[in-house]
Amino acid sequence: MSLFNPWVLLGIVMAILSAAGSGYYKGQHDENTRQQVEIAALNAKARETEQNMANVANTYAETLRKSQNAARIKETKLRADVASGALRLSIPTQSSICPTSVTTIAAGSDDGETRTEPSGSTDVATDLLQIASDGDSAIRKLNLCIETYETLRKMK
């Protein structure tokens, strides 16, 4: 048998091609397996990070709930004090001319500041308390939102 026999040459070419093909297939399979392991590890890390972020968000939500409840208790007491007359609402003024719907009183401090007190029903006082309460609540929510964002941003 001669090396230049076409069947021998065909056998050698087929052996080389099958070796290259099987090497290519094995390399592709190994790469696919490596990628699947890497994807699984990254998914596990992402799930852990997501769980940590959810815990942080829940912690901040609980903090907000507690601070809102404490503020609501203070607001209820303040409203009750205003309604009962135990606490009087007065507003500092800069002008000595006041409308007839408010009475002018001198403040008890030494600076001689002129203050006005809403006259009539306590509706004006409760409306002002509601506006202040809404503003305080929005500020608490905003501050907590900023804190949560900063904490979660640093976690990534």
Task: Give residue-wise pLDDT tens across range 37-94.
Answer: 999 999 999 999 999 999 999 999 999 999 999 999 999 998 888 888 787 777 777 7
| CA–CA distance, 127 with 56 (Å, rounded to integer) | 36
Q: What is the pLDDT of residues 18-34, one digit of tens each?
A: 998 888 888 899 999 99
* pTM for the structure as a whole: 0.58
